[in-house]
Chain A
Amino acid sequence: DAKTTQPTSMDCAEGRAANLPCNHSTISGNEYVYWYRQIHSQGPQYIIHGLKNNETNEMASLIITEDRKSSTLILPHATLRDTAVYYCIVRGSTLGRLYFGRGTQLTVWP
C-alpha cells in the first residue's frame, strides 16, 4: 500500500470551506484513496473514497489530481463539529487492512 503525507495541523473559520491536502506520490493504478476522521475520543468515521474520478457525498468532496499523486478533501461549509483528525489512506487490493498514519488535526474556529 502506498504511503501518504499530510500536514500535521490546519485551521479554518466556521462556515468557510476546509481544504485538506494529501500527497500519495507512490500510488499505483488499482489503489483507492480513502478519507476518515476521528473526533476526540471516538472511533474513526468513514467520510469518502475514490479511485480517479472526483467524488461527492453528503459529507464532503474528494478531488484527485489527474496523475493521482495527490488529493484534496473538501468540507464545503465547515462547522465546529468538524474539528477532528482527518486521515488520508491509500489502499489497494491487499485483503484486510487499512493503515492509518497520524493524520491532519483540523480545528474549526468560530
Chain B
Amino acid sequence: NAGVTQTPKFQVLKTGQSMTLQCAQDMNHNSMYWYRQDPGMGLRLIYYSASEGTTDKGEVPNGYNVSRLNKREFSLRLESAAPSQTSVYFCASSPLRGHAEKLFFGSGTQLSVL
C-alpha cells in the first residue's frame, strides 16, 4: 500500500498562475484534509472533507478551493497564486469519524510563488 500520495513534490509558480495539488489515498479512509506549514510554525488546516461529497473550511481557507473527487482523491486548487501561499502543503486522511481519529500524512508539496 502506498498510503497517502501527493503530487507534485515541488512546484514553482508565478504570481497569478493557477494550479491544482493532487492527493490520493488507498486505505479506504472516509476523511481527508489539506494542511499548510510555514517556517517555524505548526500545521494549519485549510480545508477538510469528512466524507465523500462533503467539504468544509478549516482555519485558513482564503485563496483555496477543494474538490473531493471520489473517496480516494481530494484536490486543492489555487486559482490565482500569491507569494503568501508559498508553503509546504500536506494532505492527510483518517479512517474514522468522531472520536479517536488517527491522521495519515503524505510527504508534502513544497510550493514557491514568485
Contact = CB atoms under 8 A, between A and B. Distances in A.
A, B bound: yes
Interface of A: 30, 32, 36, 41-46, 49, 87, 91-93, 95-103
A32 B105 CA distance: 20
A41 B97 contact: no
A100 B44 CA distance: 7
Nearest to B41: A102
Interface in B76-102: 90, 92, 97-102
Given A46-B103, A98-B101, A100-B43, 14 more contacts: A41-B108, A42-B107, A43-B92, A43-B108, A44-B105, A49-B100, A49-B102, A95-B50, A95-B97, A96-B48, A98-B45, A98-B103, A99-B45, A102-B42
Question: DSSP class of A's interface residues: helix, strand, loop or mixed?
Answer: loop
Contacts of A42: 107-108
Contacts of B43: 44, 100
